[in-house]
Amino acid sequence: MEMIPYLVAYAGLGVFIVAVAMRIVMWVKMPMHVRWELYPVAHEAKKASYGGSYLEESEWWTKPREVSLVGELKVMVPEILFLVALKEHNRKLWLRSFPFHFGLYLITGSTALMVLQGILGFSGGGAGGGSALNAFLFYAIMVSGGLGLILGLAGSLGLIRRRLKVPELRDFSAPADYFNLVLFVGVFGVSLLAFATFGSIFFKGVAAFVANLMFLNLTPFEEGIPALSVTVSVVLMSILLAYIPMTHMSHFVGKYFAYHSIRWNDAPNLPGSDEEETIQNALSQPVSWAAPHIGADGKKSWADLATEESDKGETK
């Protein structure tokens, strides 16, 4: 029985990694998106501040492009951490969605600190034992983890209420949307209840579990640890970890491509470039649309249909 939480955790982590990798491959293989041509583009080094682009330059195709990673980070970091766009366009939804997402970030950060604690060889520590660094990490784990659970639970409940209350959301909410949020409520609620019941000893047990997990030390919990509460919490978290990337909640992967491959993709289509090859491959695809005005027969390509002459002698 003692090995069950470890096996479930390994399985959950494995499913998460594979599912995320499959999502990334799916996005990478998707056809080139129709360019939005929306400015400013964040990676413009000097012209983003006023919405300009390299296309302003005369004979721009002969000059090297200046791309700023810092400019992208200035946009992406606030958007990821604080959901800036949602705040600007739908503040009422942001008030529920932000604590939910930020709670997830804090829980992730708490887990990362547990990993660091394990790497440094600490035992999971306590409030007063071990080195000063160990004590600091322990308090940081407990504060970030506890606050993350509170915010995540509050955000989940708020989003459920928002979907039920607002007709625009209720009409377009599928049963899976409610199931996902209820699952978060359950997972966060169980862990938060365990923390409220056992206090710091709960996070000490979780930190020790993570350290054991890292080094394949599949041993029972030490005496004094609420083994059942820790086991239930880590099993539920592992199941949630495996479930997230297999649903539309995997948008944390798609968001990168939405920005870099669609919204900010301003790479020029120059002779011999990757863009030219991609476009040529897309134009060579056969078209089998049923609409009679398209004239597709499943054999003609997009390039054929775009360049053939119509009955009036004009190019389509």
Q: Burial of 132 by CB count in 10 Å (0-12 exposed, 13-18 middle, 19+ buried)?
A: exposed
Length of the chain: 316
Name the percent of the chain in helix, strand, coil, to the closest 5: 65, 0, 30
- Residue type at 105? Y
> Is 264 contained in some domain?
no
Under 8 Å between Cβ of 238 and 8: yes
> Is 311 contained in some domain?
no
Please say if the pLDDT value at position 128 is more than 50: no
Q: Which of 98, 96, 99 is nearest to 166 (CA)?
A: 96
Please say if the pLDDT value at position 312 is more than 60: no
The mean-pLDDT minimum among 176-180, 193-197, 289-293, 312-316 falls in 312-316
- What SS3 state is found at 199? coil
Task: For tokens 């080195």, name the residue.
Answer: 131
Q: Can you give the residue range of the structural domain that contains 191?
A: 4-30+83-246
Please say if the pLDDT value at position 37 is more than 90: no
pLDDT digits (tens, 9 = 90+) for 233-267: 999 999 999 999 999 898 888 888 988 888 898 88
pLDDT digits (tens, 9 = 90+) for 11-36: 999 999 999 999 999 999 988 888 77
pLDDT at 79: 94
Under 8 Å between Cβ of 19 and 245: yes
Mean pLDDT across the chain: 90
> Is 301 contained in some domain?
no
* Total number of domains in the chain: 1
What are the tokens at 229?
Answer: 């509460």
> Is 98 contained in some domain?
yes
CA distances from 77 to 55, 73, 83, 255 (A): 27, 6, 9, 12
Please say if the pLDDT value at position 127 is more than 70: no
Under 8 Å between Cβ of 125 and 139: no
- 92 Cβ contact list (under 8 Å, min separation 6): 162
Cis peptide before 40 (omega within 30 of 0): yes
The mean-pLDDT minimum among 14-18, 127-131, 139-143 falls in 127-131
> Is 209 contained in some domain?
yes
Tell me what percent of the residues of the chain surpass a pLDDT of 90.
64
pLDDT digits (tens, 9 = 90+) for 88-126: 999 999 999 999 999 999 999 999 999 999 998 875 554
Read out DSSP for 5-57? HHHHHHHHHHHHHHHHHHHHHHHHHSPPPPP---S--TTBTTTGGGT--GGGS
CATH number for the domain including 241?
1.20.950.20
- Residue type at 84? V
> Is 296 contained in some domain?
no
Averaged pLDDT, 35-52 = 85
